[in-house]
Chains A and B, each alone.
Chain A
Amino acid sequence: MSSLEKYITEAALEVFASMIFIEITPGAPLTGRDDTIDSNLTSMIGLAGDLRGVLAVHCPEEAAKGITGAMLGMDLDEIDEDVKDAIGEIANMVAGGLKTALLSEGTAIELAIPTTAVGKSIRTSGFTGAFRFIIPFTTPAGDFGIELRYVTS
Chain B
Amino acid sequence: MEDFSDIIPKIVEATQEIFTGMVMMEISLDGEPLAEIGTMKNSITGMVGLAGTRKGMLAVHFPNSLALAITTSFLGMEVEEMNEDVQDAIGEIANMLGGNVKTILSDKGRDIQLSLPSTISGEEYTFMSQNEVDQIVLPFKAPAGVFFVELELER
**Contacts from A to B (Cβ < 8 Å):** 42, 44-49, 52-54, 56, 81, 84-85, 88, 109-128, 130, 149-151
Known contacts A46-B116, A53-B115, A123-B120; A113/B52 CB under 8 A: no
A116 and B125 CA atoms in complex are apart in Å by: 10
Q: What residue in chain B is nearest A46 (Cβ atoms)? A: B49
Residues of B within 8 A of A128 (CB): 84, 87-88
B102 to chain A, nearest CB (A): 10
User: Chain B, interface size: which category?
Assistant: 35 or more
Q: Are B126 and A119 in contact (CB under 8 A)?
A: yes
The interface-forming segment of B23-31, B71-79, B129-137, B139-147 is B129-137
Is B122 part of the binding interface, using a Cβ–Cβ cutoff of 8 Å? yes
| One of A113, A125, A126 near B57 (C-beta < 8 A) | A113
Q: Are B88 and A119 in contact (CB under 8 A)?
A: no
Known contacts A53-B115, A126-B116, A130-B116; A115/B129 CB under 8 A: yes
Q: What residue in chain B is nearest A92 (Cβ atoms)? A: B130
| One of A46, A85, A114, A150 near B50 (C-beta < 8 A) | A46
Assuming A46-B114, A117-B126, what are 16 further A-B pairs, CB within 8 angstroms?
A44-B120, A46-B48, A49-B113, A52-B115, A88-B130, A113-B49, A113-B129, A118-B125, A119-B124, A123-B122, A124-B118, A124-B119, A125-B87, A126-B91, A126-B117, A126-B118
Q: Are B49 and A54 in contact (CB under 8 A)?
A: yes
B134 to chain A, nearest CB (A): 11
Q: What residue in chain A is nearest B119 (Cβ atoms)? A: A125
A110 and B118 CA atoms in complex are apart in Å by: 17
Q: What residue in chain B is nearest A41 (Cβ atoms)? A: B128
| One of B49, B113, B133 near A45 (C-beta < 8 A) | B49
Interface members, chain B 54-93 (any A CB < 8 Å): 55-57, 59, 84, 87-88, 91
Q: What residue in chain B is nearest A88 (Cβ atoms)? A: B130
| One of B122, B125, B126, B130 near A85 (C-beta < 8 A) | B130
Q: What residue in chain B is nearest A116 (Cβ atoms)? A: B128
Q: Are B49 and A117 in contact (CB under 8 A)?
A: no
Q: Are A112 and B120 in contact (CB under 8 A)?
A: no
A38 and B57 CA atoms in complex are apart in Å by: 24
Known contacts A111-B51, A119-B126; A44/B154 CB under 8 A: no
